[in-house]
Chain A
Amino acid sequence: MDSDAWKIIHIPDKPTCPPEHQPTWKVYASVIKPKFANTIVRQLCKIAPLEDLRHVKRVRKKILQDHGETQLTVILCLAPEHNDHLNDLPLDVQKLVDPYELSPFITEVCKYAAVSKEEWEEQCKIWPTSFHPPTYNIDGISGFSEDDTQSIFKFMRLVIDLAVSEHKPIVNAAVIVDPSVRRIIASETDQVYPSSTPRDMTTTETSPFNETGDDRVTNASSQIFLNGIIEKLNGSLSDVACLNPWQWCLQPHETEKCSQWHPLRHASIVAIESSSARDRYLFPNSAESVSPDHVLPSDADIPAKKQKTSSHSPNVQKNCSEEAPRDPPMERPYLCTGYDIFLLWEPCTMCAMALVHQRIKRIFYAFPNPTAGGLGSVHRLQGEKSLNHHYAVFRVLLPGDAHNALNHGLKHAVS
């Protein structure tokens, strides 16, 4: 791997592990007589459906080497994880043993559906499963275009700028973006400590991202740029809210500056608040909330500044080809549906859940959060099936030096 380059990696719904070490469940299984197969499977689907194991084939078919006969083995039901006894077979299943001449034994099947052909091949060595190549509907999981990649790197640089430049100790920063027009919706930093000066919301609220053709992220330019953050990462990380969410009360009390701090004002929470303030400001008519597809009748409500600046932005080219002279009409968003958020650190579980609530579409972060991370480090909300909304999570890997510096810094902060 080229450690000098920026890179985007997808953080999947389940922990990654080598294909040959996939997590498994224990199940009861039994060889069955082919003539009973249909009846048994039908009954088992009723009394012991395998809801969470849809990828696992209920019946395994094996051609026996010696006589060329077909042997069928069926999964009866899940087995207790910490118990190898056969007497825990549920009563309903137990009732099938005698009539169908079953001889139950315990075996293992893979817990999660395979996400790659390699995983699937390994799974089938344990017990056959089905494999459906991913058909994701969120952009980027199967790769980004060169244009999107450059845009992602630029927003990440903006996040680094925010986190580093405006404060003495480094903090976390959050930038919410509408990727369809590459417009910044909100950009904020942690406000847990009094020293984290709150930013003037009116200036950040609707500012478009100023992209120019000649500042593409090259290895050389990013190295100069990253020197700033490397220095910060070598210092204390104790003010990064999501990394140290229980530490807020250890700060010294500075009466003259105590007006704004709040133990829960992590960057993501502040950015969500700022984006909802923008929403209320741009679409003051609450009646519109009944029809989110409604578009503004004219561009009159949109600050002139934005239209002017955005006409210089690269996306104008795309618009021209579609014969749209200006920005596409502004639609009243439903929360942050369709938006991306860029963060320097993986959000803590509180922030990660806040981003579920606010319907963020994609999350990009640079550094993992081993103390309280909600997107893979401690918890993994993108893999919690019960939640009503799911986002895609990506990590933006900065060039090698930044990571070395971070590891050094983390030892200081977390120890």
Chain B
Amino acid sequence: MEPVKEDHCEEESHKYMSLALHQAKLALEALEVPVGCVILEDGKVIASGRNRTNETRNATRHAEMEAVDQLVGEWRKNGLSPSQIAEKFSKCVLYVTCEPCIMCASALSFLGIKEVYYGCANDKFGGCGSILSLHLGNSQPSDIPEEAQRGKGYKCKGGIMADEAVSLFKCFYEQGNPSAPKPHRPVVQRERT
């Protein structure tokens, strides 16, 4: 029965997106741009990440990069070879609260991730359809079979609990970004409860 399956899928995706949103809330509490993500393998969460750009003063430390580094570090430590790690990534699914930016969307393509589900679209930097469509993969596919496989791109779907993701952004911009260059909106002290 088609509708039942759809419902089930939606329930599943909401479950995982809620975990990603939890990561985004942790970012917000740490005065970071609130984006969070989780990576799944066989329906099990194997990594999570949140934005750390202000803390690290490295504007490339997006949630996706944090989660990916966690996995690469762990797999490398366990002695996995590059091709074994590639094999692992090809089974991974990412849930992220905001459409991956052009940098992250490229990175996910290089890694050969299987699927990406995101919350709200990213009208300024989005690399999965908004500005560029990097999820479609390498425009000049390689003739090396293994490489061509990863150059194929990944399945990508947006709009999952988008309102929740957007409301976190609103909270963030109301409180002001403490690391933005001057002139910027004043930082409002948030009451912590």
Inter-chain contact A372/B138, CB cutoff 8 Å: yes
- State A280–B55 Cα separation when bound (angstroms): 9
* A287-300 Cβ-contact flags toward B at 8 Å (1 or 0): 00111110000000
Chain A interface size, as a band, is 35 or more
Task: Chain A residues near B56: list those with CB within 8 A.
Answer: 276, 280
CB of A96 within 8 Å of the partner chain: no
User: Is B125 touching A246 in the complex (CB atoms < 8 A)?
Assistant: no
Q: Which of B100-126 contact A (CB under 8 A)?
A: 101-103, 106-107, 109-112, 123-125
**1/0 per residue A366-398: CB within 8 Å of B?**
000011101000110100101110000000000
| Inter-chain contacts of B68 with A (CB < 8 A) | 264
> Is A261 positioned at the interface, with any CB of B under 8 Å from its CB?
yes
Counting CB contacts under 8 A, is A219 at the interface? no
Do A249 and B86 contact each other (CB < 8 Å), given the known contacts A264-B110, A264-B111, A276-B57? yes
When distances are taken between beta carbons in the complex, the residues of chain A under 8 Å from B159 are none
B107-150 CB mask vs A (1 if < 8 Å, else 0) is 10111100000000001110100011010001110101011001
In the complex with contacts A246-B110, A251-B82, A289-B178 CB distance below 8 A: yes
- Chain B residues with CB under 8 Å of A384's CB are 131-132
Q: Which of B69, B72, B103, B144 contacts A353 (CB 8 A)?
A: B103
A123 at the interface (CB under 8 A from B): no
Q: Give the Cβ gap from B72 to chain A, nearest Cβ, in Å.
A: 5
A354-B103 CB under 8 A given contacts A247-B147, A386-B124: yes
Max count, chain B CB within 10 A of own CB: residue among A255, A264, A272, A370: A264
Closest B residue to A274 using CB positions: B58
Determine if B57 and A279 form an interchain contact, defined as CB atoms under 8 angstroms apart. yes
Tell me if A357 counts as interface (CB < 8 A to partner B).
Answer: yes
In angstroms, Cα B132 to Cα A68, docked, is 50
Would B101 and A353 count as touching, CB distance under 8 A?
Answer: yes
In the complex, A119 has a CB within 8 A of chain B: no
Q: How far is the CB of B57 from chain A (nearest CB, A)?
A: 4
- Closest residue on chain B to residue A268 by CB atoms: B60
Q: Are A358 and B60 in contact (CB under 8 A)?
A: yes
A263 contacts B by Cβ under 8 Å:
yes
Q: Are B151 and A258 in contact (CB under 8 A)?
A: no
CB distance from A278 to the nearest CB of B (A): 9
The chain A residue sitting closest to B134, CB to CB, is A349
How many A-B residue pairs have C-beta atoms within 8 angstroms? Tell me: 135
The residues of B that contact A47 with a CB separation of less than 8 Å are: none
CB pair B102 A353 closer than 8 Å: yes
Central interface residue in A248, A280, A348, A359, by most chain B CB within 10 Å = A248
B65/A264 in contact, CB under 8 A: yes
CA of A350 to CA of B68, assembled, Å: 14
Determine which of A261, A273, A289, A386 lies in contact with B76 in the assembled complex, contact meaning CB atoms within 8 Å.
Answer: A261
Most chain B beta-carbon contacts within 10 A, residue among A246, A259, A356: A246
Nearest residue, chain B, Cβ from A371: B140
CA distance A334 to B60 in the complex (A): 14
Q: Please indicate the chain A residues that have their CB under 8 angstroms from the CB of B182 in the complex.
A: 291-293
Interface core residue of A251, A258, A357, A372 (most chain B CB under 10 Å): A357
Do the beta carbons of A349 and B106 come within 8 Å of each other? yes
Determine if A250 is an interface residue (Cβ-Cβ < 8 Å).
yes
A128 within 8 A of B: no
Residue of B58, B65, B132, B142 with most chain A CB atoms under a 10 A cut-off: B58
A246–B112 touching, CB < 8 Å: yes
Complex: chain A residue closest to B180, CB-CB: A334
By a beta-carbon cutoff of 8 Å, the part of chain B in contact with chain A is 53-54, 56-60, 65, 68-69, 72, 76, 79, 81-83, 85-86, 101-103, 106-107, 109-112, 123-125, 127, 131-132, 134, 138-140, 142, 144, 146-147, 150-151, 178-179, 181-182, 187
- What are 24 pairs between A and B in contact, CB < 8 Å? A249-B86, A250-B144, A253-B82, A255-B79, A259-B76, A261-B82, A262-B72, A264-B72, A264-B111, A273-B58, A276-B56, A276-B57, A276-B58, A289-B54, A349-B103, A350-B102, A350-B107, A358-B58, A358-B60, A372-B106, A374-B106, A386-B124, A387-B125, A388-B124
Task: Kindly list 6 other residue pairs between chains A and B, CB separation below 8 angstroms, not including A351-B103, A384-B131.
Answer: A258-B81, A290-B178, A350-B102, A353-B102, A357-B60, A370-B140
